[in-house]
Amino acid sequence: MKLTLRLTAAMCGAFTLCAVAKDIEDATPTPAPLLSTDISGSDLSFLTSAAHDIALLAKISELASKHATTSEVQAEAATVLKEQTDAMAALQKLAAGYHVPLDTELYGDDLRLVKSLDADKGLKFDKAYLDAQADADHALQAILTAGASSSDAGIKAFAHEALTRLQAEQDRVRKLGF
């Protein structure tokens, strides 16, 4: 009888140890999978860079649509916000086709720009917004120009359409006279 109890205890201990090992294994985090996309190189760079610049333009325009002093700047900012929101939706759809997740969060200098812009008031805000918009437009224009020469038809079409919209935006801002 003693032998049976010891054997049973030994077996239960082994099962308990196995259960603990299984719990530890289940609690071990699984490393994130490597980014597996259907696109690479300059086209991948285009998607991620364009998403960043579109997100920045949308964020500062959202701010300006609420805080601008002049109705012309407020209206322009609302128009840019709508255009960039639509552009981001189109870019996300394009990127999803290649299994590319787009990061639209702002970091570093861009986040500081938004905070600085948010602190400005009155006509100083309007001028600072239009300057920030011009800088963001310039950066986006360079990325879109590169995308327009892509061998990928979807990227090329997106870039051409976005360049046309960006040119119209720049023409409207010039007419504001700031």
**Of 87, 94, 29, 71, nearest in space to 176 by CA:** 71
Domain boundaries, the chain: 41-176
Residue 105 φ then ψ, to 5°: -75, 150
Contact 46, 150 (CB under 8 A): yes
For position 176, what pLDDT does the model report?
82
Per-residue pLDDT tens digits for 25-71: 455 554 444 455 668 789 999 999 999 999 999 999 999 999 999 99
- How many whole angstroms separate alpha carbon 85 and alpha carbon 11? 63
Distance CA 167, CA 47 (A): 20
Radius of gyration of the chain (CA): 27
- Note the pLDDT of residue 35: 53
Q: What CATH class does 41-176 carry?
A: mainly alpha
**pLDDT value at residue 20:** 45
Taking the complete model, does pTM exceed 0.85, yes or no?
Answer: no
Question: Which positions of the chain have pLDDT values less than 50?
Answer: 1-12, 14-21, 23-25, 30-34
